[in-house]
Amino acid sequence: MLTMQNVSKVYTTEKVQTHALRDFNLEVNEGEFIAVTGPSGSGKTTFLNIAGMLETYSSGQYLLDGIDIGRLSDNQRADLRNQKIGFIFQGFNLIPDLNIFENVEVPLRYRGIKSAERKARVMECLEQVGLGSRLKHLPQQLSGGQQQRVAIARALAGRPRFLLADEPTGNLDSLMARQVMELLEKINQEGATIIMVTHDPELARRAPRNIQVVDGQIADFSLYQKQLAGTEPAVAEV
């Protein structure tokens, strides 16, 4: 479903080259729930951005549902992103001028869905996250947990096959974080494939599959633990 083969991302400035991802290999199957962990600066977010086609990669191959992403134009990537991918961000990233209903409606507008269907889908998604009665509220009138649920509803509205979540609970207290995690698990059980970047070991443990990213590569978990303990310096590919 999602395949990355030897994907690398290099940021080049006048003086220095930074390898955010090196020969990154990953295969994700339909319906998986994957937690991506790793230290800050290890390349987790870069991986997520490339997976979500928000960034291009320097080399390698990335196939999404068999489509070679490297061959697509910017507009084609935007279209594919709109059709197949939903994003959930740590900072919620709701548009402050739009009320809850309108925020959830945004991806559907870009897909060109007609008004009646848009309304039905938005209502369905907001009901799903328990916010069906807050349609006219602006984001700033909601708590952090509620805002993240709106963001999840927005990600779900386009009925994506992939949900990419970047620290979805990072700005929430533990109770809210648990609620959001339960919601993501429910969505996964309903068929969506979820890739979640997190620093929270507890949340990572709840995901059926864990991968760790270190220095732009996927690391062996046990090895990673040893590295953290300072007893093993090497980084090995899985």
Query: Shortest Cβ distance from residue 232 to other proteins (Å)?
Result: 32
State yes or no: residue 110 binds other proteins (CB under 8 A): yes
State yes or no: residue 171 binds other proteins (CB under 8 A): no
Query: Shortest Cβ distance from residue 236 to other proteins (Å)?
Result: 28
| Distance set, CA 118 to CA 70, 88, 159, 189 (Å) | 31, 20, 12, 24
Q: Where are the alpha helices (DSSP H) in 57-157?
A: 74-84, 100-111, 115-128, 144-157
State yes or no: residue 78 binds other proteins (CB under 8 A): yes
State yes or no: residue 109 binds other proteins (CB under 8 A): yes
Q: How far apart are CA 10 and CA 20, in angstroms?
A: 6
Query: Shortest Cβ distance from residue 103 to other proteins (Å)?
Result: 9
**Pair of tokens at residue 125:** 């998604």
Q: How far apart are CA 83 and CA 88, in angstroms?
A: 15
State yes or no: residue 74 binds other proteins (CB under 8 A): yes
- Per DSSP bridges, beta strands 17-28 and 2-12 are antiparallel
Name which position in 38, 60, 107, 139 contacts other proteins (CB under 8 A): 107
Query: Shortest Cβ distance from residue 54 to other proteins (Å)?
Result: 4
Q: Which of 62, 102, 61, 117 is nearest to 85 (CA)?
A: 62
Binding mask 129-168 for other proteins (x = CB under 8 A): -------------------------x---x----------
Query: Shortest Cβ distance from residue 228 to other proteins (Å)?
Result: 26
State yes or no: residue 79 binds other proteins (CB under 8 A): yes
Name which position in 37, 42, 49, 179 contacts other proteins (CB under 8 A): 49
Stretch that binds other proteins, among 101-109, 128-136, 190-198, 200-208 (CB under 8 A): 101-109
Query: Shortest Cβ distance from residue 80 to other proteins (Å)?
Result: 9
Q: Which of 128, 149, 124 is nearest to 137 (CA)?
A: 149
Q: At 186, which amino acid appears?
A: K
Query: Shortest Cβ distance from residue 93 to other proteins (Å)?
Result: 5
State yes or no: residue 95 binds other proteins (CB under 8 A): yes
Do 211 and 34 form a contact (C-beta atoms < 8 A)?
A: yes
Q: How far apart are CA 198 and CA 193, in angstroms?
A: 16
Do 20 and 58 form a contact (C-beta atoms < 8 A)?
A: no
Do 46 and 9 form a contact (C-beta atoms < 8 A)?
A: yes
Binding site for other proteins (CB under 8 A): 49, 52, 54-55, 74-75, 78-79, 81-83, 87, 89, 91, 93-95, 97-98, 106-107, 109-112, 154, 158
